[in-house]
Amino acid sequence: MKVEIVTHRDGKEATVGFEYEKRFEAERPMVLDVLLQAQARTMPDLAFRYGCRARNCGVCTVDINGKPRIACRARAREGDTISPVATLPVLSDLVVRRDGIARQMRGRLSSGGQGNNLNVEAPEAYHDLTACIECYACLDKCPMHARNFDGGLPGDVQNAEDLPDASKGYRWGNPFSLLKLQRIRIDPLTTDAGRQAAVDNAIDLGLDACVGCAGCKCGVGIDLMGQVVGELLEAAKDRLPSSKT
Ligand code: SF4
Ligand code: SF4
Ligand code: FES
């Protein structure tokens, strides 16, 4: 099976062909298997990330034919092009800078102090949202996240020094950051002030971008539009002028 792997070194992009050798006739390898074999056989310095190999850690996400996929769970197909996720700046080959997203949420995730009753049951929706593995696949085509890059992708920014400083956390949010805030809102231990702060933070991160947006899709099947975006838009409807129309 032949695939193409897009590498990035010193700001230069190259596309390298690789032929995967099946280990047994009926094998249907995952994209991560292909990358591991490429590294073992012909591309020893190929840089990519993986951890659990079981769809738990989210760090192996790459673009396959331009769409974000979890490499340890996506089947490779003849002719696939494997490239770094386009929504985050590339560090090397398939490795992207993830810290701008995590740092963005610092100081925004307080529940406002916990209530006394730690035995209180969380609603089903709360457990649904804990399924997030932080793969960042949902950033694909998110206009809110794109605001960090003047409405485009990190790769569209000509000079590296014009990229936003990821070490400070990105200014504008994304489906993942909204999910974290919505999780706080429905956590039974969150105070009323904490719930309000979560909505305030969602608005500050650019919730208005969700009004009329085509929507986002989660890499592991969480209902982002129904359980996250829709809920936050409803909570903020009186504060988002364009949503009243
Ligand atoms: S609905 Fe909101 S979070 Fe989802 S892609 Fe659109 S702007 Fe981004
Ligand atoms: S919400 Fe889904 S797609 Fe987004 S980071 Fe979490 S698991 Fe990945
Ligand atoms: S290696 Fe952990 S999700 Fe793929």
What is the residue-level pLDDT of the chain in tens, covering all 245 positions?
Answer: 999 999 998 889 999 999 999 999 999 999 999 999 999 999 999 999 999 999 999 999 999 999 999 999 999 999 999 999 999 999 999 999 999 998 998 877 777 766 556 667 778 888 999 999 999 999 999 999 999 999 999 999 888 888 999 999 999 999 999 999 999 999 998 999 999 999 999 999 999 999 999 999 999 999 999 999 999 999 999 999 764 44
Strand, coil or helix: what is 51? coil
Pocket of ligand 1 (CB under 6 A): 142-144, 175, 178, 209-210, 213, 215-216, 229
Any idea what the CATH number is for the domain that residue 151 is in?
A: 1.10.1060
User: Are residues 68 and 178 both part of a single domain?
Assistant: no
Cα Rg of the chain, angstroms: 20
For ligand 3, the distance from its centroid to the CA atom of residue 133, given in whole angstroms, is 9
For ligand 3, the distance from its centroid to the CA atom of residue 142, given in whole angstroms, is 23
Q: What is the DSSP letter of 57?
A: S
The domain boundary residue, chosen from 96, 123, 145? 96
Contacts 24+ apart (CB under 8 A), 123-128: 123/186, 123/188, 125/186, 125/227, 126/183, 126/186, 126/187, 126/188, 128/222, 128/223, 128/227
User: Are residues 39 and 122 both part of a single domain?
Assistant: no
Count of domains observed in the chain? 2
Domain that holds residue 49: 2-96
SS (H, E, C) 181-216: HHHHHHCCCCCHHHHHHHHHHHHHCCHHHHCCCCCC
User: Are residues 92 and 106 both part of a single domain?
Assistant: no
Which ligand has the shortest distance to the CA of 175? 1
User: Are residues 83 and 103 both part of a single domain?
Assistant: no
The domain boundary residue, chosen from 96, 120, 146? 96
